[in-house]
Structure 1
Amino acid sequence: MNVRYGFNATLTAKPGMGDRLVDLLSTGLDEGKPAASEHCVVYLVCRSASDPDVVHVTEGWTSEEDHHRIFAGEAAQAIVSQVQDLVAAQSPYTDYVPVAGKAF
């Protein structure tokens, strides 16, 4: 499947909560969770090399509609609710339409 819609988010966890934030975001890959969907073709959770409380998330989806539909579901909203408790700050949401690249 091709990525036709994606986004980046940078989240700054409350001090010392970076590990918990990474663990929580990683559950998005569990069966029944949003990133396990066939429509989510890229799901990367990355940590800043210089600050363990800064976490970057990159997602690539088959379509914007698929992303919004799945993100509105109960499983995704449960993760969002828990993430909000761990986050001190986040960058503006950056969506995009991929034009070239590679993902497995």
Structure 2
Amino acid sequence: MTVRYGFNATLTAKPGMGDRLAALLLTGLDEGSPAASEHCLVYLICQSASNPDVIHVTEGWSSEEDHHRIFASEAAQSLVKQVQELVAAESPYTDYVPIGGKAVL
């Protein structure tokens, strides 16, 4: 499958909650969670080196439609609600269409 839709988001956790937010976002990879879907091809959670309360999320999906369909599920909405409880403010979000690159973890 090819990544045809993706986005970056920068989440700023409430003070002292960055580790908890990162751990919660990583549960998105658990069986039945959104990033465990075959349509989620990239799911990268990064923590700022200078501010541990800033978490960067990069996702790549087979299509925008697949992303929206999967995030409409009850499991995804539950995760989103939990994330929102830990986030301090509105988060910058940039959507994109990948054209190439490399990811090795």
TM-score between both structures, scaled by the size of structure 2:
0.95
- Residue 103 of structure 1: CA displacement? 3.4
Q: Percent identity?
A: 81
Corresponding residue of 2:89: 89
Where is the strand percentage greater, Structure 1 or Structure 2?
Answer: 1
- Count of residues in Structure 1 that have an aligned counterpart in Structure 2: 104
User: Where has structure 1 moved over 4 Å in runs of 4 or more?
Assistant: none
TM-score between both structures, scaled by the size of structure 1:
0.96
SS of 2:11 mapped into structure 1: strand
- Residue 2 of structure 1: CA displacement? 0.9
Q: Separation in 2 of the partners of 1:55 and 1:67?
A: 20
- Residue 94 of structure 1: CA displacement? 0.8
Gaps of 5+ in 2: none
Q: Separation in 1 of the partners of 2:26 and 2:100?
A: 26
| 1:49 partner amino acid | A
Gaps of 5+ in 1: none
SS of 2:66 mapped into structure 1: helix
Q: Separation in 1 of the partners of 2:15 and 2:59?
A: 25
Q: Separation in 2 of the partners of 1:30 and 1:44?
A: 14
Corresponding residue of 1:10: 10
